[in-house]
């Protein structure tokens, strides 16, 4: 069973195909996109060990020859040295302007391979085959690509839309519970930012899809991708509405920076904790009902998701230290960070005028 979500972007439009059993079928599904039947797959060591053989034989079955560039797993690969390595390897493999590169992995690989494709020969096309829930519902769709700077996350990059996105739900079976739940934080984000019915549905169906139900997972990914595709097609370059996708990210990025982008806190966990803080801030500012943050926290708790700063092992900076880290966020304009706040579940908006003392108070309360 497959479902298709279109991303409408004029001549750069593409489709996201979601289903099961897609890797063995990759060759016949992707052959129409190739001008010559060869490709380079950029992946990481973990995904390569688990799924590369399946993808390569699936491509081969459709007549597409492939070779792989395998980089270390983890956020550390979103770096200048790794970008150089990937770009030079693609050139050494004689990737031409009309060839397509495949990004096969989680968010790190999609961002790294997509950025390499964006700058190689002034831009070659690429296909996203995301393997983490987080990449399936967020980073593989919408064309944000890039690497991290020592000064902050995602500060170097380009918008470069993929030509196609192939989402095989089966690969989620090999994720750890923690990785799955971190991605689930991004699924909940779509309900919280703009679709209260979806959040209601997740409150009921979340445990079933966490426990492996494939049709529930397809539906959750479809609704997430459809929400993202709608936003991206209305505001591709983030001049307005797309910023709502950053719900939880201003807090989350500061927490990720505070924990050194390490295993102490996965990106999706930072976003989940950040969304809890965004709702706490909204309630403190009188924007949403006082009980709304508790409803969000109750769903995260029911799913077993990390949801508060107390769930992060080790020391954290104090409230002022975290506010300092927010100043490095790429959403800062004129030194003022943007916060996505909520009037209710499913009703969010961007606010650049949040009083710093309210942010400090929310963080101080969450740190005790
Ligand atoms: N992950 C946020 C965006 O794609 O805009």
Q: Where are the beta strands (DSSP E) in 150-228?
A: 152-159, 164-168
The answer to whether the CB of 123 falls within 8 A of the CB of 98 is no
pTM flag (> 0.85)? yes
Element (DSSP H or E) covering residue 344: strand 339-344
Atom of ligand 1 nearest to the CA of 246: 2
Residue-wise pLDDT tens for the chain (368 aa)? 899 999 999 999 999 999 999 999 999 999 999 999 999 999 999 999 999 999 999 999 999 999 999 999 998 999 999 999 999 999 999 999 999 999 999 999 999 999 999 999 999 999 999 999 999 999 999 999 999 988 778 889 999 999 999 999 999 999 999 999 999 999 999 999 999 999 999 999 999 999 999 999 999 999 999 999 999 999 999 999 999 999 999 999 899 989 988 889 999 999 999 999 999 999 999 999 999 999 999 999 999 999 899 999 999 999 999 999 988 776 676 767 889 999 999 999 999 899 999 999 999 999 98
The answer to whether the CB of 166 falls within 8 A of the CB of 140 is no
Pocket of ligand 1 (CB under 6 A): 138-139, 142, 144, 242, 245
CA distances from 126 to 12, 96, 108, 208, 340 (A): 12, 12, 15, 34, 31
- Atom 3 of ligand 1: nearest residue by CA position: 245
Atom of ligand 1 nearest to the CA of 144: 4
Phi, psi of 213 (to 5 degrees): -65, 120
The answer to whether the CB of 222 falls within 8 A of the CB of 3 is yes
Residue 143 Cα to ligand 1 midpoint, Å, equals 8
Residue 119 Cα to ligand 1 midpoint, Å, equals 20
Residues whose CB falls within 8 Å of the CB of residue 338, separated by 6 or more in sequence, listed in order: 243, 246, 250, 331, 332, 350, 351, 352
Atom of ligand 1 nearest to the CA of 231: 5
Number of Cβ within 10 Å of residue 113's Cβ equals 29
Handedness of CA 88, 94, 99, 104 (dihedral sign): negative
DSSP 23: G
**Crossing angle, helix 177-194 and helix 214-234, to 10 degrees?**
50
Whose tokens are 């992060």? That residue is 312
Q: Give catalytic residue positions.
A: 122, 144, 186, 228, 238, 242, 246, 249, 253, 267
- Give the Cα separation of 72 and 3 in Å (integer): 32
User: Chain centroid to CA 73: how far?
Assistant: 16
Element (DSSP H or E) covering residue 350: strand 347-351
- Give the Cα separation of 55 and 36 in Å (integer): 18
- Give the Cα separation of 181 and 134 in Å (integer): 9
Whose tokens are 């397809």? That residue is 218
Residue 342 Cα to ligand 1 midpoint, Å, equals 18
Residue 246 Cα to ligand 1 midpoint, Å, equals 7
């Amino acid at each position: 069973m497959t479902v298709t979500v279109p991303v409408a972007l004029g001549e750069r439009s593409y489709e996201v195909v979601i289903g099961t059993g897609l890797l063995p079928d990759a060759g016949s599904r992707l052959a129409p996109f190739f001008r010559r039947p060869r490709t380079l797959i950029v992946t990481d060591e973990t995904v390569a060990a688990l799924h590369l053989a399946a993808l390569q034989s699936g491509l081969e079955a459709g007549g597409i020859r492939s070779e792989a560039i395998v980089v270390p797993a983890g956020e550390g690969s979103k770096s200048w040295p790794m970008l150089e390595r990937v770009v030079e390897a693609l050139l050494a493999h004689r990737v031409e302007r009309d060839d397509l590169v495949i990004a096969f992995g989680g968010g790190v690989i999609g961002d790294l391979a997509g950025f390499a494709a964006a700058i190689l020969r002034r831009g070659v096309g690429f296909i996203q085959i995301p393997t983490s829930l987080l990449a399936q519902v967020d980073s593989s769709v919408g064309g944000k690509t890039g690497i991290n700077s020592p000064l902050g996350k995602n500060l170097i990059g380009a918008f470069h839309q993929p030509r196609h996105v192939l989402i095989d739900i089966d690969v989620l079976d090999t994720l750890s519970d923690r990785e799955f739940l971190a991605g689930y934080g991004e699924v909940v984000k779509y309900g919280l930012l703009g679709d209260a019915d979806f959040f209601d549905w997740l409150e009921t169906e979340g445990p079933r899809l966490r426990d492996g139900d494939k049709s529930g997972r397809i539906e959750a990914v479809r609704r997430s991708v459809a929400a993202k595709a709608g936003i991206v097609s209305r505001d591709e370059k983030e001049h307005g509405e797309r910023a709502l996708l950053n719900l939880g990210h201003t807090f989350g990025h500061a927490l990720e920076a505070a924990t050194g982008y390490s295993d102490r806190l996965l990106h999706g966990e930072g976003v989940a904790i950040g969304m809890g803080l965004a709702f706490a801030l909204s309630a403190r500012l009188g924007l949403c009902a006082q009980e709304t943050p508790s409803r969000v926290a109750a769903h995260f708790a029911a799913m077993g998701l990390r949801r508060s700063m107390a769930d992060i092992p080790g020391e954290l900076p104090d409230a002022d230290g975290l506010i300092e880290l927010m100043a490095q966020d790429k959403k800062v304009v004129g030194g003022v960070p943007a916060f996505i706040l909520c009037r209710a579940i499913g009703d969010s908006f961007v606010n650049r005028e949040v009083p710093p003392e309210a942010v400090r108070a929310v963080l101080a309360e969450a740190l005790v």
